[in-house]
Structure 1
């Protein structure tokens, strides 16, 4: 299976907010994994940097990623996220069409 698009990101909130953020993030991740073209969607709290959540996503193609972003499952996540103190949020989208996922 070839992954064509990867999203790598970091989300930083106040360390004391991570525990309350995770249920909202879990809802998004579980729904996103069911979206068409989702190969992988993973998040983890950084074990060295308090308050930082690492995100990695693999999608069949750019269109699948765009449909995911526009999916009705995503706005509730954005609404929930507004309740937290987001200190930083960075995401990059990479063309990884030459990478084989095994």
Structure 2
């Protein structure tokens, strides 16, 4: 996250019934590919929790609030959210963190 100003990290979880995870995977991959191509997207990832099947860990990093705001208006985000009922996606818990600096640990 090089550069001046405040970047944003979004971290949290969503849930998918474990038996629906393979069926929803193509929709998740489409969302990842399109989001990663957006101007201002620094990182965009989903990962299944190894201890809790169906718990999807979400991690995003955005250049700034403007890039995140633009993300919220994209057709691929609307399409992703539109399939949630079909696949039982629920319990969205995402938090935005403002990052003023970074360092390796």
Normalised by the length of structure 2, the TM-score is: 0.88
> What residue is the counterpart of 1:8 in the other structure?
11
Where do 5+ consecutive residues of structure 1 fail to align?
A: none
- What secondary structure sits across from 2:9 in the alignment? strand
Q: 1:100 to 1:60 in 2, by over 3 A?
A: farther
Among 54, 70, 73, the alignment partner of 1:70 is 73
Runs of 4+ with deviation above 6 angstroms: none
Offset at 1:10? 0.4
Alignment partners' CA distance in 2, 1:78 and 1:53: 15
> What residue is the counterpart of 2:40 in the other structure?
37
Offset at 1:22? 1.2
Offset at 1:53? 0.7
Normalised by the length of structure 1, the TM-score is: 0.90
Alignment partners' CA distance in 1, 2:11 and 2:84: 18
> What residue is the counterpart of 1:19 in the other structure?
22
- Cα RMSD of the aligned pairs, angstroms, is 1.6
